[in-house]
Amino acid sequence: MKTNRNLKEYVFDFIMLFLAVTLSFFVENIRDDLADRSTEEKHVSSLLEDLKQDTATFHERAIAIRQVIAMSDSVVLLLNQPQLSTHGLQRLYFLARSIAPLIAPLALNDRTYDEMRNSGALRLVRNEKTADMISRYYFSNHQLAFINQIALDRAQKKIELEARIFKSSIFATMVNTKSFAISPPAGSPMLNTDDSTAINEYAIMLHYISSVSAFSEKLYNDLEKRTVALISTLQKEYKTER
């Protein structure tokens, strides 16, 4: 009887130990899952803020790009006029000087995405379709940054060519050093040269700036729509406030 009683005790102790280990395992898994969900929701909340800022950036940049296209095309038309009036020369100087500031470096908010990617937190996004949607969105942003760099390079080349076309003394009178606002020059501003080759080279560069700007505008508009769609998806999936 004593042996049987001891055996039962051993079996009971084993079962209790097994249940304790199993329960501890499940509790730890639940704790880890809750921690992962909390981390995921914090990242998504931060990601939504980044996306909202990107939406505003895309909208503003698309407006600026449309101005670049219109101004570049107008400058080319003015340069191809056989003779310009005083007003035409003033407008030519003003438009030519106004283009470069509108072509600015692109600063997008990819801080949260980079943090998620580098820390492995992207795996916490439960919906694979949503995770893929996020990754494809930021890949498109890199494409846009590449196109923007091309525009910046061409804008720099444009500035170098302007040294041959326009008078620096007149440019200097057009910029308010306090507000940085650009105004048309006074009087009858003359060009620095009538060299048709130099003028044509400058006009060609403006054509390329207009072309890459038109492509950029399409990307900005497309990405703005995709950003709005991604924000909507995340808000519905995570039931966040709009």
Is 206 strand, coil or helix? helix
DSSP code of 102?
Answer: G
* pLDDT score for 107: 83
CA neighbor of 74 nearest in space, from 210, 227, 214, 169: 210
Domain ranges for the chain: 2-238
Task: List pLDDT tens digits, range 73-123.
Answer: 999 999 999 999 999 999 999 999 999 999 998 888 888 888 887 877 777
Alpha-carbon torsion 183, 189, 191, 194, what sign? positive
Q: What is the DSSP string of 109-132?
A: --HHHHHHHHHTGGGG-S-HHHHH
By the 10 Å C-beta count (0-12 exposed, 13-18 middle, 19+ buried), 138 is classed as middle
pLDDT band at 34 (very low <50, low <70, confident <90, very high): very low
Instruction: Judge whether residue 1 has pLDDT over 50.
Output: no
pLDDT band at 40 (very low <50, low <70, confident <90, very high): confident
pTM: 0.78
